[in-house]
Amino acid sequence: MKRSHLAREIVETIALTVIIFVVIHFAVQSYRVQGISMQPGLQDGEYVLVNKIAYLFHQPERGDIIVFHYPVDTTKDFIKRVIGVPGDTITVNSNTVWVDGVKLNEPYVSAEANFEGMTWKVPPGNYFVMGDNRPDSDDSRTWGFVPQSDLVGKAVLVYWPFNVFKLLNTYPTVFANVK
């Protein structure tokens, strides 16, 4: 009796471990920030936790920091901030971004730097993303929109190095007046 009880306990423990591993594997992912395009909020070499199921229940929102497959080369993943969602009109000049005619006051931007007088209309099923380090960001201003099918998930926190552990701010007040 005791041997069968022990064997059952071992099988249950292994099964539970496998189930937990599979759930975590499909729900979250680690992502290493590469480059300076998201400074000052994210630094080169930091690790962020990505919620891969965040967008199963709702669409990305303006201000979300997302990890996605780079549309030009889907073998690479990028991390950027969502500025425009489907239907939005994004307009930029050298130092300002407007979404649907609303000027954004972006406290997360390291330095304003845009192309002069550009406008984009975000098509259905796509997102317009920009890095917070505008002078040094390869983003939608250069290569266009991110298709929803290329989204990996929402970056939610920096966990390494541990001394900079923090939840990522989506700055909802920046986009509050955009309808």
Give the catalytic positions in this structure.
37, 80
SS3 112: coil
83 burial type by CB count under 10 A (0-12 exposed, 13-18 middle, 19+ buried): buried
Query: Is cis: bond before 107, omega within 30 of 0?
Result: no
Q: Which two tokens stand for residue 107?
A: 């406290």
Q: In this structure, what is the dihedral angle of CA atoms 179, 143, 54, 77, given to the nearest 10 degrees?
A: -160
DSSP lists the bridge partners of residue 153 as 67
d(CA 50, CA 127): 18
Kindly give the pairing relationship between strand 126-130 and strand 146-147.
antiparallel
